[in-house]
Amino acid sequence: MVFFILCTNKRRVNSNTKNMVISGYVILAIVIILTARINIKVYFQYDVLGNIGKVKITLFRVIPIFSAYLSLVGEYFRLVYGKKVIQIKIDLSDKNLRFIRELNDSLNKRMYIHKVSTNFNIGLHNPATCSVICGYIHSIVGAILSKIKTVRPDTTVSKTVNVGYFEQVIQFEMNFQFEITLFDYVWATIAAFYKSRREVVNG
């Protein structure tokens, strides 16, 4: 009888120990997943004259997680994502834009930026106007990239402005590559949602 009780208690101890080990591995796996840095690349392209653009987001440069076409319709941004159509009003008080602005602010504090590159293709029938516009683009984009480089010295920045005289084309491309942990992304999303909702209530 005593032997049976001892064996039963031993089984319980072994079972509890096994459960504790499994729980420890699960907790460790969760911590690793939440704190591991995720490499994200954002590609944005827009043709002004054709009023069509594209947004593409990939993980680790090869795994696509989001791809949508963009256009301007009246006072709305229209995103075509698969069979879904999302319209965002161009209004600073719009809840979607408030959320995007707050999310950008929250992510900017937590992300590690690897690369920012821009490419412009500008062509107009009037060479003088085309040259002036390209000069402004060089100055404005150069100032923005210089500021990024000053704040984040490890970031690689580049800009290209291609001039096509006697053509009609105004196109813009940007590649943005950064790293962030899943925990920071989730926390930034929650913070952005809370702040945007609070603005709605206070407004």
Query: pLDDT at position 69, please?
Result: 92
Check residue 21 and give its pLDDT.
67
**Domain limits, the chain:** 1-35, 36-202
Predicted local confidence at residue 74, as pLDDT: 82
Tokens linked to 14: 């072994």
Query: Is the full-model pTM beyond 0.75?
Result: no
Question: Is pLDDT of 4 > 50?
Answer: no
pLDDT in tens, 120-163: 999 888 888 888 888 899 899 999 999 988 988 889 999 998 88
Task: Please return the burial class of 35, using the count of CB atoms within 10 Å of its CB with bins 0-12, 13-18 and 19+.
Answer: exposed
Q: What is the pLDDT of residues 36-92, one digit of tens each?
A: 788 889 999 999 988 999 999 898 878 888 888 989 888 888 888 888 888 877 766
pLDDT band at 23 (very low <50, low <70, confident <90, very high): confident
